[in-house]
Structure 1
Amino acid sequence: MDGRRITATRRPCCGRRVVAKKRPRSGGDGFVNSVKKLQRREICSKRDRSFSMSNAQERFRNIHLQEEYDTHDPKGHSSMVLPFLKKRSKVIEIVSAQDIVFALVQSGVCAAFSRETNERICFMNVSPDEVIRSLFYNKNNDSLITVSVYASDNFSSLKCRTTRIEYIRRGKPDAGFPLFESESLKWPGFVEFDDVNGKVLTYSAQDSIYKVFDLKNYTMLYSISDKNVQEIKISPGIMLLIFTKASGHVPLKILSIEDGAVLKSFNHLLHRNKKVDFIEQFNEKLLVKQENENLQILDVRNSELTEVSRTEFMTPSAFIFLYENQLFLTFRNRTVAVWNFRGELVTSFEDHLLWHPDCNTNNIYITSDQDLIISYCKADSEDQLLEGNAGSINISNILTGKCLAKIKATNSLPPEECNCSSKCSGKNCSSSKRFQASRMRSTVADALEDITALFYDEERNEIYTGNRIGMVHVWSN
């Protein structure tokens, strides 16, 4: 999932607008051409849906616990001087890049592990007082960007650093270089990485200036200086500027993401004295919801307005936009739903009650084809009796809501069981899988307890999970 915003606050959690991955598309005027979109859908080279579903089921059928990594160094990382960095902490973010798995824990320590050697390569903290807040893998130049705060700065400003993956693989995390040094990213300033458009958005609260940078080479493209801008939302090809609410309306502007040119300026009428729950932009569709009011879906091209009853669409805690499928996911009270932009409920998921009530998007992964959602869920009543406090990792089809596969303690190979193709007893098996399993301290049930972060590597077909005590587990077939 892409599009993450990191704010300059000392709190370990941060507000994020998450969008599902989208294949790169050619430039245009910012608005998607509906005719071409329909044509692309009709002549799409994607696999048949039924085949895709069966293929997904086969892909995850025999997935099991294969390896275990520990982010905690009992001796304490030699370069760390802050006491809380040396304590065991829960994993809050996992990123995979090629054959390296990065795990960030809540205290601010980030560890890099090799999937080839199954050893910890290094810690990404290169300064004794560095607290890493978030990670971003930049595929454009094969590098990892770390966003950090520092004790020497009273943890008040965000600092970004980029390090090429090849240097990290050699155990040289200090071989990178800083980014956006000219920007003052003190709270409420932020930096937002947008993989869909290949852009970085920064906000300097000190002078109320937004700047857009190229994600490929980090050159600044243009800036937006207007103290009345309250929020900026990014969609493929465009940005929505939301200005200070006026009497009975909110002023809006749509800009080209490439050069900042204004494509459209307009006002959207609001009910007076009612709080705005959210304003979101999705291509040509504007979603507006006020407290105790209907959801409004406005087509900004022709001003066509669709309303969805407030009893049918209640304000969600988070969105995930599916640009390939022209749909969006909503998260509310541990449940997930799929909607289209006619305001119709497309899918309700079966057997998909999320474990975390706060909808931590680090526990959710949407595949690049936007056909599968992988989540950490509560076990059903029957499984709960057998598995105790362990949850399950559910793989569900987004368009049908059907649960295609589930990793749970009762259907996964135990770590001590041999998975060798030969007919051996397992006791003297020389396979690498047997060797890896023998080093694990966690049982499958242990690994499925208190999962706090989840990531799926589509190329390796591996799921990585992290838990509250800083352990990272690899699930593979």
Structure 2
Amino acid sequence: MEGRRIIANPRPCSGRRVIAKKRKRPDGFINTVKKLQRREISSRMDRAFSFTTAQERFRNMRLVEQYDTHDPKGDCVIALPFLMKRTKVIEIVAAHDIVFALAHSGVCASFSRETNKRVCFLNISSDEIIRSLFYNKNNDSLITVSVYASDSFSSLRCRSTRIDYIRKGQANAGFPLFESESLKWPGFVEFDDVNGKVLTYSAQDSVYKVFDLKNYAMLYSISDKNIQEIKISPGIMLLIFKRTPSHVPLKILSIEDGSVLKPFNHLLHRNKKIDFIEQFNEKLLVKQENENLQILDVRNAELIEVSRTEFMTPSAFIFLYENQLFLTFRDRNVSVWNFRGELVTSFEDHLLWHPDCNTNNIYITSDQDLIISYCKADTEDQWMEGNAGSINISNILTGKCLAKIKASNGPPKEEECISSSGLGSSKQRKNAVTEALEDITALFYHEDRNEIYTGNTHGLLHLWWF
């Protein structure tokens, strides 16, 4: 679920557009085999098999490890007093056998799944506050985005560190990125894993620059003070300019070289604010206050309208490029839509815990068939779980809840132990499960290892595995 924008201010912004990562294509031979399999096996049987395996993957997951991002011994090279406080986990990233947990204070810790111990902290300067993390698969490195007390936390600075170095505890072996860019507020940096690009904005000179995510080489720049927003989709960028009373000027650019593919104007209702403008391949989604949703095909100008009573402005989107669908989040509910303006799925049991739709508590699998979220517990379970929620795994196409991790599932097996917490008895482990499901603030699913990681308000990182 990559494609995130980090704004140059001391604290992360809560609302941001998130793109569900496009699945990498296999080589030609494997792709041909898969096509033959799909042709010979009915889609219904294949789908049923996929549902069954998904249920088996998640049904017996248990809490097996607990890690702590807090640094009571002072091993982290930090000097700012507020960095010493225990704060909630706001972001989790995993690469191979290394798990990274970023706390709200700005401290980022790495943990090894091989040793189940903390490897090192990523903060290499005493006044560094890490704002966000991005795993770059192109060169197997972690990019950290930080602000510093030395410049009043006003500028973003990026650093790339190979996973191999981090595994050895050498967090200071990385190198800085985009040093030539002035990323002061309201500047930003956005990492786009779908296209393999990085977009930066220097507010000082109103210049956008696009870099290659593989080698960080600058590809081209865009300079126009009338640009209000840039949206990125597979292969293209949408430039949104300052609106006039009657229309908003737009341009579609090639993401590869910045060439203009199509300039056009979209008509607006006068004196109505724009709720959002989003681009998905050739489809443009426009919604104004108290107006219908408009879905415009920019190739042939075909326009579809969806009644404002059916489609109300969501707080966030996730676009599913594999399935040609998109998710909307509103009032703790998730819905799936197609680009004909039709509601495809409403989830039967997937009421999100957080009302602000914190996308760090949501994970979409690379096949874009499952959504894993931190949800409200069933009414019948709340009496035994207290304030604990549940981790729900649901099928995106059907809305069916396939599995659920909740306190009433029972404690870990007797032979399992939660090593970092030192818990021994079954009762203690049951309490640990309940506590681990309380106040979850970040969630990540490691697909290669079939492990779920959650972080909570106490700065604790928990591992769930079958």
Tell me the TM-score range normalised by the shorter chain.
Answer: over 0.9
Deviation at 1:15, TM superposition (A): 3.8
Distance 2:140 2:308 in 1: 45
Instruction: Say yes or no: does 1:17 pair with 2:17.
Output: yes
The equivalences for 1:16-35 within 5 A come to 16-24=16-24
Letter paired with 2:5: R
Match of 1:177 among 168, 175, 178: 175
Equivalent residue, structure 1, for 2:408: 410
Deviation at 1:437, TM superposition (A): 7.9
Equivalent residue, structure 1, for 2:440: 451
Equivalent residue, structure 2, for 1:238: 236
Match of 2:56 among 49, 54, 58: 58
Change (3 A) 1:223 1:42: farther
Distance 1:63 1:435 in 2: 14
Deviation at 1:43, TM superposition (A): 5.6
Deviation at 1:438, TM superposition (A): 7.0
Deviations 1:355-407 (A, max 9, x none): 00000000000000000000000001101011111000000000000000000
The equivalences for 1:276-287 within 5 A come to 276-287=274-285
Say if 1:69 and 1:472, in contact at 8 Å, map to a contact too.
yes
Change (3 A) 1:349 1:279: same
Distance 1:317 1:151 in 2: 32
What's the secondary structure of 2:65's corresponding residue?
strand
Distance 1:41 1:281 in 2: 33
Distance 1:291 1:463 in 2: 39
Distance 2:164 2:323 in 1: 35
Equivalent residue, structure 1, for 2:32: none
Instruction: Say yes or no: does 1:473 pair with 2:446.
Output: no
Equivalent residue, structure 2, for 1:254: 252
Change (3 A) 1:392 1:472: same
Letter paired with 1:154: S
Letter paired with 2:7: T
Moved more, 44-53 or 236-245: 44-53
Deviations 1:322-347 (A, max 9, x none): 00000000000000000000000000
Equivalent residue, structure 2, for 1:210: 208
Equivalent residue, structure 2, for 1:462: 451
Equivalent residue, structure 1, for 2:83: 85
Percent pairwise identity: 79
Change (3 A) 1:220 1:437: closer
Letter paired with 2:10: R
Distance 1:67 1:289 in 2: 45
Match of 1:305 among 303, 328, 335: 303
Say if 1:241 and 1:252, in contact at 8 Å, map to a contact too.
yes
Instruction: Say yes or no: does 1:3 pair with 2:9.
Output: no
Change (3 A) 1:171 1:188: same
Say if 2:190 and 2:199, in contact at 8 Å, map to a contact too.
yes
What's the secondary structure of 2:360's corresponding residue?
helix
Instruction: Say yes or no: does 1:399 pair with 2:397.
Output: yes
Letter paired with 1:185: L
Say if 2:92 and 2:100, in contact at 8 Å, map to a contact too.
yes
Equivalent residue, structure 2, for 1:295: 293
What's the secondary structure of 1:320's corresponding residue?
strand
Deviation at 1:451, TM superposition (A): 0.2
Say if 2:65 and 2:418, in contact at 8 Å, map to a contact too.
no
Say if 2:241 and 2:250, in contact at 8 Å, map to a contact too.
yes
Distance 1:3 1:340 in 2: 21
TM-score in terms of structure 2 length? 0.94
Distance 1:466 1:338 in 2: 27
Equivalent residue, structure 2, for 1:318: 316
Say if 2:15 and 2:316, in contact at 8 Å, map to a contact too.
no
Distance 2:389 2:101 in 1: 21
Instruction: Say yes or no: does 1:191 pair with 2:174.
Output: no
Equivalent residue, structure 2, for 1:29: none
Deviation at 1:11, TM superposition (A): 2.3
Say if 1:5 and 1:15, in contact at 8 Å, map to a contact too.
no
Deviation at 1:78, TM superposition (A): 4.6
The equivalences for 1:330-341 within 5 A come to 330-341=328-339
Equivalent residue, structure 1, for 2:114: 116
Equivalent residue, structure 2, for 1:32: none
The size of the alignment, in residue pairs, is 450
Letter paired with 2:290: N
Distance 2:16 2:394 in 1: 23
What's the secondary structure of 2:189's corresponding residue?
strand
Return 5+ residue gaps in structure 1 as ranges. 27-38, 420-432
Distance 1:235 1:78 in 2: 39
Distance 1:18 1:237 in 2: 16
Distance 1:300 1:43 in 2: 33
Say if 2:66 and 2:418, in contact at 8 Å, map to a contact too.
no
Distance 2:233 2:274 in 1: 20
Distance 2:249 2:457 in 1: 44
Equivalent residue, structure 2, for 1:425: none
Change (3 A) 1:41 1:298: farther
TM-score in terms of structure 1 length? 0.92
Deviations 1:64-122 (A, max 9, x none): 00000000011234511000001100000000000000000000000000000000000
Moved more, 112-121 or 46-55: 46-55
Instruction: Say yes or no: does 1:141 pair with 2:124.
Output: no
Equivalent residue, structure 1, for 2:362: 364
